[in-house]
A and B are shown apart, each in its own frame.
Chain A
Amino acid sequence: MDRFLDAVFLGLSSGAIYALVALSLVVVFRASGHLNFAAGEMGTLSAFIAWAFYDAGVPLVIAALLGMAFGALLGGATEVAIVRPLEKKSPLAVFVALIALFLGINALTTGIWGAPPAEEIGNLFPNDPEDFWRIGGGVWRDRDIGALVVTLVITGLLFFLFQRTRFGLAMRGVASNAESARLVGVPTSRVLIGSWAIAGAIGAIAAILVAGNQGQVTPIIMVTIFVYGSAAATLGGLDSPGGAVIGGLLIGIIENLAAEFSKDWVGQEMKLGVALLVIFVVLLVKPSGLFGTAKVERV
């Protein structure tokens, strides 16, 4: 029983990170209709900026917030400078540009911060060996609970934003039908920038959490997590924020349970394979995911 609970707790905490990345992807997708391939790397760059502040003596929480601010800036800038001008040319151009951004930011972070010594960073939550809770026979670490709490808080904030504010209403309008929204007077441009900024900030906090778990910020922390995040967004539905969170948590739990209870076939090495299998199955069976809206094509 405790191995089961251990796996579930681990799943919830890694799933929380996947959920954050998935949220970032979903927010962008709802606004612009594109998959932000560079989401993970933008988060990594923001984490390095947060580290730079932390290294200069700024308290970790403030540094994290500054990192998120940088992430928002980066996201907004990407929308204005790259996505909007290229959208007029073709969707493929945007995709290629985002991929180039993915490569470029990765190369940039490696080039600037790649050399030793390592960029050590603390964890936002208590991370000493004794900081854990025993729950029902399983063990749950403070930092893992913290990650889940952060995810839930951000989800809550987003929910509040979407459902209860004018800006959120505008975002929903643009997501539903951009042309009509513009005609009605919704400031589409601001909505787009805002969406990307929010996505950037979410990506940043995800990366900062990951870096905190490792104790250091390295250029590759978000590469695999991006894939998991995409799987989560696919499972939940690319245009459903709630789906993204549920998808993330589900994938985290499924992969850990699979690794724990099918050591022979899955084990630790094939955890990623489980997430990929999820992508395949979902896209084969129900491409719009658990909670996404299915596209109906009219002839």
Chain B
Amino acid sequence: MTPRQSRLLAALAATSLLLAACSRGPEEGEEVDTTDGGTATTSADAGAAPTTTAETETTEASEDTAVETTTADTEGGETTEGGGGGGAEWTVSTDDCIDPDLANSPIEGTVSIGSSMPLSGGVAATAFGPVAEGFRAYIEYANEQGLLPEHEVSLNIGDDQYDAAQTPNVVNGLLDSGVNLFSGIIGTPNNDAVRAVLNEECVPQILALTGSPAWGEVADYPWTTGGLIPYNIEAEAYAQHIAEQFPDGATAALFTVANEFGEVYRTAFEAAAEEAGIEIVDAQTIEAADSAPPSAQLNSIAGNQPDVIMAVPLGAQCPTFMSELANAKAVQSGWDPQVYITNTCASPLILAVAGEAANGLITSASAGLQDVTNPEVAAADPDVQAYIDYMTNRGNADILSTATAGWNIGEVTVEILRQAAESPDGLTQASIINASRNFDYHPLLTREGVDYKMAGEEDAFYAEDIQIVQYDAATGFFTDIGDLITSFRSS
């Protein structure tokens, strides 16, 4: 082929590409090189109802970035009356599903749960690996105990390496292999990337392991729910606590990691601080991949001498921050700020490296979970002891504290499945999401009084109860401060 012919062909292909690339509106076609030769129809649509698919899914919401504050109110003030007791239960509409029959057909035999977690690819994996283990452990436990009658539960966790671009591929693979629901996907952008697809396919995406407020969009994404305490609730709880400790007004500094998680948190805290009358005197950031001690940031913060620091570091940055803060305090004698730190750092495994420097920091119990490494807690609660025994038998004694998150998710998932199976519709994809949104359950590893509740459109978040705790470096335990705060409940 001569260069001229090549160029001509390239130009032709490029022109046809121009049209192939458009995705909206009916344009009268010109020549297009699509499929070559005749082939059999794809397997995708056997039996699908001929309704046009995603058109009715409202699409404006999908253009938004994840930081849309939700319909469900988190101030605890405006829950609509009528949430308790009477009135129709919320049910999901399967009319717009690609395959409504599949969404409503009973699941027989093995219920297959899918998930996507960072199992490799650097620091994230090591932080979240125990969560995956805990999840797997619970599912094994549930099968052994026969917690879901007439069904086996299988769990398939795919590895997306904390890269949100890989999560759709992982989820696609799992959907192809026939999972019935997704639970516990880690990462805000990761969940965001697959939210549209899973809602379109009417596959439940429950217990997203992030605290982004975006999972409360019940009307637009009914099949997606969150699993952790929303970051804005957490930030507000801290702000309220600060206001209580400093009734004459306090000054605060922010230290956040420069990624989605940190940004959302910072916005939430800034809003909450303004409401609570806290003056923010400094806001420093740290890059997600930066593991060096944040000396410069702390020098700056120390210069402003705030009463309080709200810290949102990532993983290994947690203890480094605390150590560096101790250094800064030594230099700036007389300054001893109270540190509030995100509950993703609230693990003795992570904080141990900081030693004494981490003493006295205030955080909250992640997802309302108890401090399982504290022998007093284990002694007082047989469920905690049972968890410890099971995990130790399994060889996971070294990750007890971090694995509780995974175990907890497993427990809540299986409970939802159980309730769905007992519902009049039996165990179907639709009934799973219905059960999850009409839910009131106390997970066994959580603190007394913590309830995971959801009620249709009014209450779109499970974990809204916060227990403020304080870390004791000498023992490595977290002691409760004050009572469980339930004022953030939406229902």
Contact = CB atoms under 8 A, between A and B. Distances in A.
Nearest to B293: A213
A57 interface: no
A268 B288 CA distance: 12
A268 B285 contact: yes
Given A116-B130, A215-B353, A132 B330 contact: yes
Contacts of A14: 292
A118 B347 CA distance: 12
Contacts of B289: 220, 223-224
Query: Which of A7, A114, A272 gathers most chain B CB within 10 Å?
Result: A114
At the interface, is chain B mostly helix, strand, loop or mixed?
helix
A220 B291 contact: yes
Interface stretch (B15-23, B30-38, B269-277, B296-304): B296-304
B329 A114 contact: no
A141 B327 CA distance: 9
Interface in A29-81: none
Interface string A111-124: 00011111010000
B328 to A, nearest CB: 8
Contact of B292 (A3, A213, A269): A213
B154 interface: no
Interface residues of B, number: 44
Interface of B: 120-123, 125-127, 129-130, 258, 284-287, 289-297, 299-300, 303, 316, 319-320, 323, 326-327, 329-331, 349-350, 352-354, 357, 398-399, 402
Contact of B126 (A6, A7, A114, A120): A114
A210 B354 contact: no
Contact of B297 (A3, A115, A213, A268): A268
Nearest to A211: B291
Contacts of A128: 330
A114 B125 contact: yes
A259 B303 CA distance: 15
Contacts of B320: 214-215
Given A132-B330, A218-B316, A110 B292 contact: no
A297 interface: no
B129 to A, nearest CB: 6
A12 interface: no
Nearest to B285: A269
10 contacts: A3-B303, A110-B126, A116-B126, A117-B352, A214-B320, A215-B353, A256-B296, A267-B285, A268-B297, A269-B287
A196 to B, nearest CB: 27
Task: Give the top 3 A-B pairs by smallest Cβ distance, nearest first.
Answer: A129-B330, A114-B126, A129-B326
A139 B319 CA distance: 22
A223 B349 CA distance: 24
A155 interface: no
A218 B293 CA distance: 13
A110 B299 contact: no
Contact of B399 (A116, A130, A132): A116
Contacts of A7: 296
Interface string A1-32: 00100110010001000000000000000000
Nearest to B303: A3
A258 to B, nearest CB: 11
A129 B329 contact: yes
B419 to A, nearest CB: 34
Interface in A119-146: 120, 128-130, 132, 139, 141
A217 to B, nearest CB: 10
Given A116-B130, A213-B292, 15 more contacts: A10-B299, A110-B121, A116-B126, A116-B127, A118-B316, A128-B330, A132-B327, A213-B293, A214-B293, A218-B291, A220-B289, A221-B291, A268-B284, A268-B287, A272-B287
Interface in A134-193: 139, 141
Contact of B299 (A6, A218, A223): A6
A50 to B, nearest CB: 17
A129 B296 contact: no
A260 B296 contact: yes
